[in-house]
Amino acid sequence: MVDSPTSEGSPAAANGRKLDIYVVDTGWNRKAKAILDEHLELFESYLGGHHVFLLGRQQSKEVLKQHIHLIGKDPLLVIVDSDARVEKHVHGYGFRLCLGAMKTGRIRENLSTVLHIICDQRLDGRQMVQRVRQAAHREGLAGVMEIIGEVVRPEG
């Protein structure tokens, strides 16, 4: 785990929103993992004040056993807005980026898109999820960039 303390100038200090960011990797897609590893230190440098958890291979396997629809899509970045999760936002409380399900040439670009969304501190949890939804639609990333924690309410 890489855990950066919240400092006065950090993104999390700007609006109080603190994200939990999990890197899940069982070793399924080595090319995607190599690109992630190449950029992870830079990625983390922009995330001051947020928690970054690098799950080991066994921990990642345990996560995927609980979410079998994600097997073969790792490495994954799972971004959770803890406040939105506790408040049970109906629009979702985070998202995941399935790097292993992407064409190798798109991984850097999509990491950059995710970083822009995470670092935009004007966004609350609902707005962050909306930006992810827009990016996924615009970039044709359905099934690769997914909202988590959405609640579907019955009509009426």
What pLDDT, in 10s, does the model give residues 77-124? 998 887 766 666 655 677 888 999 998 888 998 888 888 888 876 777
Quote the tokens at residue 68: 């079998």
The CA distance from 143 to 102, in Å, is: 10
Residue 17: pLDDT band with limits 50, 70, 90:
low
Q: Which residue has the higher pLDDT, 119 or 73?
A: 73
* 55 closest CA partner among 100, 21, 29, 24: 24
- Over range 42-57, report the average pLDDT: 88
The CA distance from 122 to 104, in Å, is: 31
Quote the tokens at residue 54: 């690098």
The CA distance from 83 to 72, in Å, is: 30
* 23 closest CA partner among 12, 10, 50: 50
Residue 10 near residue 45 (C-beta atoms within 8 A): no
In this prediction, residue 56 carries a pLDDT of 96
The CA distance from 109 to 120, in Å, is: 17
Residue 68: pLDDT band with limits 50, 70, 90:
very high
Residue 125 burial (CB count, 10 A): 22
Residue written as token pair 């995927």:
64
Domain ranges of the chain: 2-148
pTM of the predicted structure, to 2 decimals: 0.78
Residue written as token pair 């909202």:
147
